[in-house]
Structure 1
Amino acid sequence: MSVLKQIFEKKITSIEKKKKLKSIDQLENEIANNLIPSHNFFDVLDDNNDQIKIIAECKKSSPSAGLIVDSYDPIAICSKYKTKGYKNLSILTEEKYFQGSNEDLTKVKKELNMPILQKDFIYDEWQIYEAKSCGADCILLISEYLNFEQLQSFVKTAENLEIDVLVEFHRLEELEKIINLNIKNIGINNRNLISLETNVLHCLDVYKKNKSILKDYNIIAESGFSSNDDINKYLDYGIERFLIGEHLLKESF
């Protein structure tokens, strides 16, 4: 069984338990009474005058890297990101494999008031309401696990909740269903979530081979970046948005 499937199976078990304790109506009530400020995630990212627009990721561990930050303090990490000038955050909230939580996201949002992408494994509409109630400004949808009808429905739900969406894929065959969605921002993951192998130029290769299609989207290159040389190769093709986690974490902590 692939790591991606294992993660989703654990997530499904935990979410089904949570759904029995809290309905969508209750989550909607929480959202209506939520005093946590919200942001348009991609507007903030694109208003950044820097040529390189970075989404700085905060996570304790991952299946590929193992433990990344021993003394994990999301507020301290994200505060340093903010001091360094990063405007957008990504926070892992998956519990078992990344050792995150929704509470991490909410605490950082309340403390720093920055736009946050919730990185988790969404398979159910309920999770989008939960993400909004926790203070997320953007959610991640993983194309490899979701069919077109699910993606289309979840994008619509997020739109109704005024929360941004990043649809991510690795395998080229996913592109056909993604381009039929009403979205502007696409993440191309350099890490294969099935094998966990990483090729830092995978996103660029996919873009170059499908430029006629992808040139009309905002491409976010994800995973594996550790040098300016790799980033410059992307900039040469007009890709200036990057999601970077492990390198920033190891560099600073």
Structure 2
Amino acid sequence: MTEIPDILKKIVSRKKEELAGVKSKTPLSEVRARAAEVQDAPRGFIAALESSRNGGRTAIISEVKKGSPSKGIIRADFDPVGIAQLYEANGASCLSVLTEKDFFLGDLAYLRQIRQRVSLPLLRKDFLFDPYQVYEAKVAGADAILLIAAMLELSQLEDLKGYAGELGLDVLLEVHDERELEMALETGCRLIGINNRNLRTFVVDISLSERLARLIPEGHTIVAESGITRREEIVHLQECGIAAFLIGESLMREADIGAKLRELAG
């Protein structure tokens, strides 16, 4: 774990407060039992990305996202289920659903609602640090979870990855620099996300994906996150070994979300 940026500290601190309240109402034993009772089989998040790529299609993880700390409200007319259906109809391989409430205006309920209306694999995108949250993700309908190397120790990454594996959930392990990438590779995680957004300055530089991708051995599926706005950027990054693209803001700002997704997918 590298030094945690201030905004990340604030988010994690708030998440800990929120989680304490949730646990007081629903103990770990209960959410674990609910997770064990889930009948809906995992849809295979990594498998869907690799299937798209192997089939000659651009693997895009389209994000359901209302706002962010740096940009405020991104889409005022926010209909999470309707947006998810548009993504599915216009060629997304998977969906990322923001479930963090206070900074990104998300909700775990969005994941549950979307699960019932679309057939694509779903990622719970949040700030996870406790096994409880992994069980929550399973109960809510996630097929994968996001883990952020910048906020976790290696032992935590390994433990949370282990819990996810037991539940049949894939893991997208996000890194921002070489040090975090080294830690991510130690976990054996197949799906590595490179976040082009600097968590301290919020400046986006997609050349980070190009740089770090060179350091990732074969056998991993690499995802470029943040700052992807044009088809030309996707084509260039594919040539650099990037397999998939997590795209949120540039889709959510468009009047015609479907047309923008088709444009990016080529």
* TM-score, normalised relative to structure 2: 0.89
- Please say if 1:190 is aligned against 2:232: no
Partner of 1:61: 67
Partner amino acid, structure 2, of 1:242: F
For structure 1, the 5+ residue unaligned runs are none
8 A contact 1:152–1:181 mirrored in 2: yes
Which deviations, in whole Å up to 9, do the C-alpha atoms of 1:189-235 show, x marking residues without a partner?
00112221111221112223x2xx43331110101011112112112
- Please say if 1:41 is aligned against 2:50: no
Structure 2: how far apart are the matches of 1:53 and 1:113? 16
Partner of 1:70: 76
Q: Which runs of 4+ in 1 moved over 6 A?
A: none
Partner of 1:114: 120
CA RMSD of aligned residues (A): 1.5
1:81-230 equivalences under 5 Å are 81-208=87-214, 210=215, 213-230=216-233
Which deviations, in whole Å up to 9, do the C-alpha atoms of 1:112-132 show, x marking residues without a partner?
132100000001111001111
Partner amino acid, structure 2, of 1:238: G
CA drift at 1:36: 4.4
8 A contact 2:213–2:241 mirrored in 1: no
Structure 2: how far apart are the matches of 1:32 and 1:239? 35
- Please say if 1:238 is aligned against 2:241: yes
Structure 1: how far apart are the matches of 2:231 and 2:206? 12
Question: Number of residue pairs matched?
Answer: 250
8 A contact 1:56–1:243 mirrored in 2: yes
8 A contact 1:201–1:230 mirrored in 2: no
Q: Aligned pair in 2 of structure 1 residues 238, 175: CA closer, same or farther (>3 Å)?
A: closer
SS at match of 1:130: helix
For structure 2, the 5+ residue unaligned runs are 258-266
Percent identity for Structure 1 against Structure 2: 34
* TM-score, normalised relative to structure 1: 0.94
Match of 1:19 among 17, 20, 23: 23
Structure 2: how far apart are the matches of 1:7 and 1:139? 17
SS at match of 1:54: strand
